[in-house]
């Protein structure tokens, strides 16, 4: 059994995916929403996973990492916020570097330092590899260097869920880190980087790619500076949609997915939905404006006049394609919300909370019991559960090989 600690758990997408594989036990999970008095996501999590593991509803910065050691977790997972990962030297200069206060990635680092789980699986928005705009790639470089200093090797992949058969065109970066003293890393160290990314690595098996690479983006190799402070202050780099970091050496490549036929938006729709989801004439006109092409003259804070322009969007959304990326504002009158023509009534409406759950691969009514606005919000924050199931199967396969190797070593030692 692989014991798991889940951070920034939301309504349990990581846990759902892993537990659907079998062989995983989430022993401790933390979910806390600092800006809200009502802890709807946490209450949903507790309701769905009642009496299974320890559930924490406190600021992760206040959690004593030493209290987690006894759980003996071998896997840490979490979808953490995309923030500014710059660092600074401590005032004394003797304690190394420290991240800006309130940056949740540093809480992951703090916990990893104490627990040293064999595997780490993290999720974030795909723009992470390009941030910040003024020092491209700095934040991701800081993250990789932090994991390097904790003795992990790292592989990452930006995955569009729809490319691998799921119902949403949701692009996210997944980061898999594994301890350097494992047989998996030893095996990967004997294989060239191209073979790892295309055939033998963590992501290659569950998410196959073409043999060729993107001609517009040539593969890149570089070494991260040893000092994370130097990375924070001066370093920038171009990261492509996949890559490897071993001992600070980075190889990155733009992979082309071998696409599977996705589930379409039309396939996940409910029938006989309530009247409140249908749009009146005035709301339809608002959506038409928001989703239409526009050029607007604006004035900046310095008095400079400029033209803001944006292209048009499909209106209504096509039912023959997967859904677009859901945001936390789904279901409100804004440009990003889905608007569909109901196949039965032929009238325009927004998606229901259950349809949003289906877009992410959650069971129907998973978030039932919280305010409807929060149901949309939680699904806009959630991940596609089926992707985690595929990754869980891969982790289980790697752990099985790890266990076999360990048993072989014990047998060999017993012969002497």
Lowest mean pLDDT among 101-105, 248-252, 294-298, 345-349: 101-105
The helix, strand and coil proportions of the chain, stated in percent and rounded to the nearest 5, come to: 35, 20, 40
Give pLDDT, residue 92.
45
Radius of gyration from C-alpha coordinates of the chain? 23
Which among 82, 226, 356, 378 is annotated as catalytic?
A: 82
Q: What is the pLDDT of residues 129-169, one digit of tens each?
A: 998 889 999 999 999 999 999 999 999 999 999 999 999 99
Q: What is the pLDDT of residues 176-229, one digit of tens each?
A: 999 999 999 999 999 999 999 999 999 999 999 999 877 789 999 999 999 999
CA-CA distance, 144 to 155, in Å (whole number)? Answer: 10
Cα dihedral 199→359→143→205 (10° resolution): -10
Report the 3 state secondary structure along 33-63.
CCCCCCCHHHHHHHHHCCCCCEEECCCHHHC
- Kindly tell me if the per-residue pLDDT of 54 is higher than 60: yes
Q: What is the CATH number of domain 265-373?
A: 3.90.120
Question: Looking at domain 2-260+384-391, what is its CATH homologous superfamily?
Answer: Vaccinia Virus protein VP39 (3.40.50.150)
Active site (annotated) includes residue 356? no
Query: Could you tell me how far CA 334 lies from the centroid of its own chain?
Result: 24
Give pLDDT, residue 342.
98
CB–CB of 106/96 below 8 Å? no
Lowest mean pLDDT among 88-92, 170-174, 369-373: 88-92
Q: What mean pLDDT is predicted for residues 12-16? A: 98
Give pLDDT, residue 93.
45
β partners of residue 24: 2
**CA-closest candidate to residue 118, choices 217, 193, 202, 229:** 202
The domain limits of the chain are 2-260+384-391, 265-373
Lowest mean pLDDT among 48-57, 130-139, 187-196, 298-307: 298-307
Q: What are the backbone dihedrals phi and psi of residue 186, each rounded to the nearest 5 degrees, phi first?
A: -60, -40
- Kindly tell me if the per-residue pLDDT of 283 is higher than 60: yes
CB–CB of 138/224 below 8 Å? no
Lowest mean pLDDT among 50-64, 257-271, 357-371, 400-414: 400-414
CA-CA distance, 203 to 68, in Å (whole number)? Answer: 29
Q: What is the pLDDT of residues 339-364, one digit of tens each?
A: 999 999 999 999 999 999 999 999 99
pLDDT-derived band of residue 113, with 50, 70 and 90 as boundaries? very high
Farthest CA pair distance, the chain: 83
Give pLDDT, residue 336.
95
Residue with tokens 């749009």: 279
The two three-digit tokens of residue 305, written as one number: 């006049």
3-state secondary structure of 231: helix
Give pLDDT, residue 95.
44
Write out the H or E segment, with its range, that includes residue 153. strand 152-160
- Beta strands in 182-248, from DSSP E residues, in sequence order: 220-223, 242-246
Query: Could you tell me how far CA 46 lies from the centroid of its own chain?
Result: 22
């Amino acid at each position: 059994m692989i014991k798991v600690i889940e951070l920034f758990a939301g309504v349990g997408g990581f846990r759902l995916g892993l537990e659907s594989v079998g062989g995983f036990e989430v022993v401790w999970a933390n979910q806390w929403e600092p800006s809200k008095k009502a802890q709807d996501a946490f209450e949903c999590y507790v309701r769905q996973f009642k009496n299974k593991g320890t559930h924490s509803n406190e600021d992760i910065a206040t959690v004593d990492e030493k209290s987690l050691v006894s759980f003996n977790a071998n896997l840490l997972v979490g979808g953490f916020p995309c923030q500014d990962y710059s660092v600074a030297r401590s005032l004394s200069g003797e304690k190394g570097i420290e991240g800006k206060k309130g940056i949740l990635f540093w809480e992951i680092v703090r916990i990893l330092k104490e627990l040293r789980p064999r595997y780490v699986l993290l999720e974030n928005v795909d723009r992470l590899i390009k941030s910040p705009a003024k020092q491209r790639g700095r934040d991701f470089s800081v993250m990789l260097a932090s994991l390097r200093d904790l003795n992990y090797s790292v592989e990452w992949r930006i995955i569009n869920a729809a490319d691998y058969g799921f119902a949403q065109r949701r692009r996210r970066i997944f980061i898999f880190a594994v301890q350097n003293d494992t047989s998996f890393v030893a095996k990967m160290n004997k294989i060239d980087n191209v073979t790892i990314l295309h055939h033998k690595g963590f992501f290659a098996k569950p998410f196959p790619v073409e043999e060729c690479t993107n001609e517009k983006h040539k593969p890149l190799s570089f070494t991260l500076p040893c000092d994370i402070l130097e990375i924070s202050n001066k370093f920038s780099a171009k990261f492509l949609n996949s890559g490897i970091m071993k001992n600070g050496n980075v190889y990155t490549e733009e992979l082309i997915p071998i696409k599977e036929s996705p589930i379409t938006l039309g396939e996940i729709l409910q029938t006989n939905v309530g009247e409140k989801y249908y749009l009146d004439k005035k709301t339809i006109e608002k959506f038409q404006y928001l989703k239409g092409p526009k050029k607007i003259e604006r004035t900046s804070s310095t008095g400079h006049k400029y033209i803001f322009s944006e292209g048009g969007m499909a209106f209504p959304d096509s039912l023959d394609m997967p859904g677009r990326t859901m945001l936390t504002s789904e279901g409100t009158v804004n440009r990003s919300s889905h608007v569909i023509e109901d196949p039965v009534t032929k009238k325009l409406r927004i998606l229901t909370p259950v349809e949003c759950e289906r877009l992410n691969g959650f069971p129907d009514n998973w978030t039932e019991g919280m305010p409807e606005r929060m149901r949309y919000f939680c699904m806009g924050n959630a991940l596609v559960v089926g992707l985690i199931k595929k990754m869980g199967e891969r982790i289980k396969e790697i752990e099985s090989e790890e266990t076999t190797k360990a048993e072989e070593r014990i047998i060999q030692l017993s012969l002497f």
